[in-house]
Amino acid sequence: MNQDYIKPDNWSVIEEGFNAERVKSSESLFSIGNGAMGQRANFEEQYSGPTFQGSYIAGVYYPDKTRVGWWKNGYPEYFAKVLNAPNWIGINVSVNGEQLDLHTCKVVDNFRRELNMKAGWLSRSFTATLQNNVVIEVEAKRFLSLELDEVGAIEYSVKPISTDAEVVFQPYLDSGITNEDTNWDDEFWDTLKVCNENNQAFIEAKTMKTEFHTCTFMESEVFVNGTAVAIKPVIESDSNSISFSYSNQVKQGETYAINKFGGYVVDTNHDKNELISAAKNVLNLATEKGFDVLLDEQKQAWERIWSMSDISISGDVKAQQGIRFNIFQLNQTYLGEDSRLNIGPKGFTGEKYGGSTYWDTEAYCIPFYMATKDQNVARSLLEYRYNHLEKAIENAGKLGFTNGAALYPMVTMNGEECHNEWEITFEEIHRNGAIAFAIFNYHRYTGDYSYIPEKGLEVLIGIARFWQQRATFSSAKNKYVILGVTGPNEYENNVNNNFYTNYLAQWCINYALENISKIESEYPSDFARVMNKVKLEEAELNKWKAVAENMYFPFSEEKQIYLQQDGFLDKELITVDHLEKAQRPINQKWSWDRILRSPYIKQADTLQGFYFFEDQFSNEELERHFDFYEPFTVHESSLSPCVHSIQAAKLDRMEQAYTFYLRTSRLDLDDYNNEVHEGLHITSMAGTWMSIVEGFGGMRVKDDMLSFTPKIPKEWDEYSFKVNFRHHILKVNVNQSGAKFELEGDSDLQILVNNSPVTISRNSLLTV
């Protein structure tokens, strides 16, 4: 926890003062991205202190050979890792022959870093006294262009204030790059070509094994007091780097500046034999516009994003900063323009989780993207899984399932499973249900049914087949049971009849059956095409029905609650508030067996089911289950507080909801878990958005209508958000005395407010 480090501000993340111990954390917090690439906030100039270098290209990964202690049949061969890519931001700066390095400077004053979320840029300024006693003022600004998403731009200036000085800018490219996280110290990159042409430099490199061909490029221009100057650079290169040195004698008080443009082109978007020419094209586009024009376009692009996705909060700047930081980072990570991409738990801010796709996307991220983007973005996320269906069927095959049963991987880059803990890889199968639930959720929200006959049905059938085969009949219970699973609460492994999993399995089968019927009657040609492919017979459908109709759910008659799994009540039921502080977080303090036999819950598990299938439980049931399970929940997953915040709000426990909200929204800014140096918790940020929209705003879709039960924490004056619902843009504004609904668009919209239908006229405002 690091509560007051980041300065509160409505639109920016601000750090003041230089502290070497904070460098790695701030590198995470100030990360920038544009959906196609992203990077940690590493310094442009040399830095010899502790740093975690990272620049990542979306979709470019390395299959790092699996490392285990003891091999189990079925483990995947590799763990896909988004790679630390060649460095293009680097600018060595020397002043009278001494390298500028904040770790070795005598004094660093006025250090200030700002991540301007409104306009999408990162800036840094400081005054440094070098070892050689020259004092300089430095300013740097950098952004990754949303407009030209293969390009980033840097403006970097040095002003000697103590004396005249010889200043050399040495912008460079470097492909001699490694990951911090490698299993076997493999080389990840193979540099193919280092070259330059006029002011432009290029490094062609390919990833080992996966053979993604990339070209990293740069072009720079230098200025004195804002006027371009023609300095002939000294060009040096070796097998994996190239630099241009621009040396200048700078007078005291003069500003010597460099604009550097750089980035990547990749063979996933270009012919691999034409990468240098593609790089030239994009560099020329960027340099023709120049830094200021690109920056202006960046502001406009972010303005468009914010105009739809912003949530404003009045009266609570920390809450405001938190939610904007979350929304900003989500948009930096994924913009929904490429159905080959997805949302890694750490986005482009670190190496952990390998940048791969988890069930987080379906369970947490889709609602945010559905409501704040065009519905095609959510559809694109669904298609990502449709495109992986064959791999999911192969994956299930490796575990012994047959006949087209599909098990989506726990962790994946290209549809293949990457994870290698048996209790997760083979057993945390509820993820399969989240894939189906996302299809339902998409249809429920957008009203667009067309995805299901076109693509979704095949996915639903593969998933239903899996559940039918995975459930087994217990003669003792005269019910179908699902043995040996890990639920969302990963602090239980290999349990039997996890309520959430069983419920989801039953729902998946029923939902598949329902869609099969509907498509058979309403989309006969799609039906024929799919049936021809999947060969689904009546006998098999009867097996599905038998499982769904006779699914077992563990239930305590005494407590009138569904049990998280068989035997949960045999645990020592000591609530979290009785745990000593010194024992927390238990995942750092306790051995795994102790965690497993404890009642402690990492994140919503039974309650995740109550969240997904809220309509199927009464408020009294929710309250009973919330009161039973939340006191055992340690919230040691970033995905935990948001669901609890939503449910607390639903139960009118606004204090608790607000506490959970702060925890989710400022998890990284305040570094709750002392781990922000590893990267940000990107996917849980979508949960933060849900905490406000679904939690405080009470937004749901009911009977094809948007429904709201607006509430507001007592700490806030007002908050507002916008949602895109079926081509209507609805702005919701809630304050302590009521709510206002404002509609953009060309038709009226009927919504439910506190369960009463009201109609909002187009372009009008409704106050409740």
**Which stretch, 323-331, 561-569, 650-658, 702-710, contacts its own copies (CB under 8 A)?**
561-569
Kindly state whether residue 675 participates in binding its own copies, applying the rule CB under 8 A: no
For residue 74, the minimal CB distance to its own copies (Å) is 3
Supply angle C-alpha 111, 112, 116, rounded to 5: 160
**Which stretch, 287-295, 337-345, 434-442, 581-589, contacts its own copies (CB under 8 A)?**
581-589
For residue 434, the minimal CB distance to its own copies (Å) is 19
Q: Are strands 749-753 and 756-760 parallel, antiparallel or unpaired?
A: antiparallel
For its own copies, give the closer residue by CB, 572 or 620. Answer: 572
Kindly state whether residue 383 participates in binding its own copies, applying the rule CB under 8 A: no
What does residue 177 show for φ and ψ, rounded to 5 degrees?
-115, 140
Pairwise CA distance, residues 657 & 647, whole Å: 8
For its own copies, give the closer residue by CB, 106 or 559. Answer: 559
Pairwise CA distance, residues 217 & 265, whole Å: 8
Kindly state whether residue 555 participates in binding its own copies, applying the rule CB under 8 A: no
Three-state helix/strand/coil letters over 497-533: CCHHHHHHHHHHHHHHHHHHHHHHHHCHHHHHHHHHH
Kindly state whether residue 14 participates in binding its own copies, applying the rule CB under 8 A: no
DSSP state of 411: S
Among 593, 615, 703, 746, binds its own copies (CB under 8 A): 593
Kindly state whether residue 764 participates in binding its own copies, applying the rule CB under 8 A: no
For residue 568, the minimal CB distance to its own copies (Å) is 9
For residue 491, the minimal CB distance to its own copies (Å) is 11
- The amino acid occupying position 515 is N
Pairwise CA distance, residues 709 & 465, whole Å: 38
Kindly state whether residue 358 participates in binding its own copies, applying the rule CB under 8 A: no
| Binding string, residues 191-230; x marks residues near its own copies by CB under 8 A | ----------------------------------------
b (16+ CB within 10 A) / e for 681-693: bbbbbbbbbbbbb
For its own copies, give the closer residue by CB, 103 or 624. Answer: 624
Cβ-based neighbours of 467, under 8 Å, separated by 6 or more:
432, 433, 505, 506, 508, 509, 547
Whether residue 490 lies in the annotated active site: yes
- Residue 639, Cα to own-chain centre: how many angstroms? 11
- Does the annotation list 360 as a binding residue? yes
For residue 574, the minimal CB distance to its own copies (Å) is 10
Residues from 460 through 519 that contact its own copies (CB under 8 A)? 472-477, 481, 483-484, 493-496
Among 99, 163, 247, 587, binds its own copies (CB under 8 A): 587
DSSP state of 102: T
Tell me if 721 sits within 8 A of 697, measured CB to CB: yes
Q: Where are the alpha helices (DSSP H) in 447-498?
A: 451, 457-470
**Which stretch, 49-57, 269-277, 567-575, 613-621, contacts its own copies (CB under 8 A)?**
567-575
With residue 86 as reference, give the H or E element that holds it. Answer: none
- Residue 607, Cα to own-chain centre: how many angstroms? 22
- Does the annotation list 359 as a binding residue? yes
> Does the N-terminal peptide bond of residue 585 adopt cis geometry, omega within 30 degrees of 0?
yes
Among 49, 50, 253, 400, binds its own copies (CB under 8 A): 400
Pairwise CA distance, residues 196 & 236, whole Å: 10
How far, CA to CA in Å, does 194 sit from each of 37, 183, 413, 627? Answer: 22, 28, 29, 63
For its own copies, give the closer residue by CB, 596 or 622. Answer: 596
- The amino acid occupying position 760 is I
For its own copies, give the closer residue by CB, 273 or 475. Answer: 475
Positive or negative, the CA dihedral 243, 247, 251, 252 is positive
Query: Annotated catalytic residue: which of 490, 492, 636, 694?
Result: 490
**Which stretch, 201-209, 340-348, 520-528, 592-600, contacts its own copies (CB under 8 A)?**
592-600
For its own copies, give the closer residue by CB, 251 or 543. Answer: 543
For its own copies, give the closer residue by CB, 400 or 524. Answer: 400
| Binding string, residues 402-441; x marks residues near its own copies by CB under 8 A | ------------------xxxx--xx--------------
Pairwise CA distance, residues 560 & 317, whole Å: 42
Among 49, 447, 567, 757, binds its own copies (CB under 8 A): 567
Specify burial of residue 704 (Cβ count, 10 A radius: 0-12, 13-18, 19+).
exposed
For its own copies, give the closer residue by CB, 537 or 593. Answer: 593
Kindly state whether residue 2 participates in binding its own copies, applying the rule CB under 8 A: no
Residues from 34 through 93 that contact its own copies (CB under 8 A)? 66-70, 72-74
For its own copies, give the closer residue by CB, 66 or 339. Answer: 66
Kindly state whether residue 596 participates in binding its own copies, applying the rule CB under 8 A: yes
Kindly state whether residue 399 participates in binding its own copies, applying the rule CB under 8 A: yes
For residue 638, the minimal CB distance to its own copies (Å) is 18
Among 9, 98, 566, 675, binds its own copies (CB under 8 A): 566
Applying CB under 8 A, what is the total number of residues that bind its own copies? 47
612 Ramachandran zone, left/alpha/beta (phi>0; psi -120 to 50): alpha
Kindly state whether residue 585 participates in binding its own copies, applying the rule CB under 8 A: no
For residue 157, the minimal CB distance to its own copies (Å) is 45
Return the closest-CA partner of residue 695 out of 731, 626, 741, 647. 647
DSSP state of 568: G
Kindly state whether residue 107 participates in binding its own copies, applying the rule CB under 8 A: no
For residue 484, the minimal CB distance to its own copies (Å) is 4
For residue 587, the minimal CB distance to its own copies (Å) is 8
Taking the CB of residue 756, how many other CB atoms lie within 10 A of it? 9
Kindly state whether residue 588 participates in binding its own copies, applying the rule CB under 8 A: yes
Nearest 10 degrees: Cα torsion 288, 292, 296, 298: 80
Positive or negative, the CA dihedral 588, 590, 596, 600 is negative
Three-state helix/strand/coil letters over 340-364: CCCCCCCCCCCCHHHHCECCHHHHH
Cβ-based neighbours of 71, under 8 Å, separated by 6 or more:
none
For residue 460, the minimal CB distance to its own copies (Å) is 23
Q: Which residues pair with 765 in a beta bridge?
A: 742
**Which stretch, 2-10, 324-332, 570-578, 613-621, contacts its own copies (CB under 8 A)?**
570-578
For its own copies, give the closer residue by CB, 425 or 441. Answer: 425
For its own copies, give the closer residue by CB, 253 or 567. Answer: 567
For residue 639, the minimal CB distance to its own copies (Å) is 18
Catalytically active residues, by annotation: 490
**Residue ranges for the binding site?**
359-360, 602-603
**Residue ranges for the binding site for substrate?**
359-360, 602-603
Q: Which residues bind its own copies (CB under 8 A)?
A: 66-70, 72-74, 398-400, 420-423, 426-427, 472-477, 481, 483-484, 493-496, 566-567, 569-573, 587-594, 596-597
